[in-house]
Amino acid sequence: MPPKAKFTKDEIIEAALAIVREEGFGALTARALGERLGSSARPIFTVFKSMDEVCEAVIEAAKALYKEYVLRGLENTPAFKGVGTQYILFSINEPKLFQLLFMKEHSVVPRLGTVLPEIDDNYDAILLSVKDGYGLSLEKAERLYRHLWIYTHGIAALCATKMCCFSGEEISGMMTEVFVGLLKNIKSEADEN
């Protein structure tokens, strides 16, 4: 008969997530997790097979938390600006989780056209908010989304690494200015064709 688990799966994930939030993903070890739980590392492995499994669960928990931000953004008007603002807020409020999800090195470098669907499970919902919100074709919506993600990601990375800080008004103004210019350019191309 296997030993009775001292901690639930959720308790272990929550403790692991707390370590990552405070110290970064590299600090998540069996020993650190055991200490966080006030135990040895042994009880962790009555619930999880390995630390790799714990790490995957933490990544999924971080993605779920990020998705809450995306959903709040999609409720705003305009939804696409709301999502961009929430992306930046996630980087400010959860810098270590932002770095884990959006600033880690990849073994295979994705192409610009595929990076967003690869790194963001919310890609389709966000793309639809651009397409429907601004009456754009799928191709033009993808182009606008990519351009604005690059800009928004830059702001978010500056915030997540504490290289720079911005007020809410500054973020809103910068995003609006870039968005209006890009949208005008993309729509004028449609008029020219």
Q: Could you tell me the two tokens for 180? A: 């209006």
> Given this model, what pLDDT does residue 142 score?
94
> Given this model, what pLDDT does residue 188 score?
87
For residue 11, what are the contacts with CB-CB under 8 A and spacing of at least 6?
37
CB 155 within 8 A of CB 92: no
The pLDDT profile of the chain, 193 residues, written as one tens digit per residue, is 455 668 899 999 999 999 999 999 999 999 999 999 999 999 899 999 999 999 999 999 999 999 999 999 999 989 999 999 999 999 999 999 999 999 998 888 888 888 999 999 999 999 999 999 999 999 999 999 999 999 999 999 999 999 999 999 999 999 999 999 999 999 888 555 5
Give the C-alpha separation, 38 to 181, whole Å: 54
Give the C-alpha separation, 127 to 121, whole Å: 11
Short-list 96, 32, 22, CA closest to 59: 96
For 19, 23, 36, 122, the CA distances from 31, given in Å and listed in that order, are 11, 14, 9, 34
Provide DSSP, 44-104.
Answer: GGGT-S-HHHHHHHHHHHHHHHHHHHHHHHHTSSSHHHHHHHHHHHHHHH-HHHHHHHHSS
> Given this model, what pLDDT does residue 150 score?
95
pTM, full prediction: 0.91
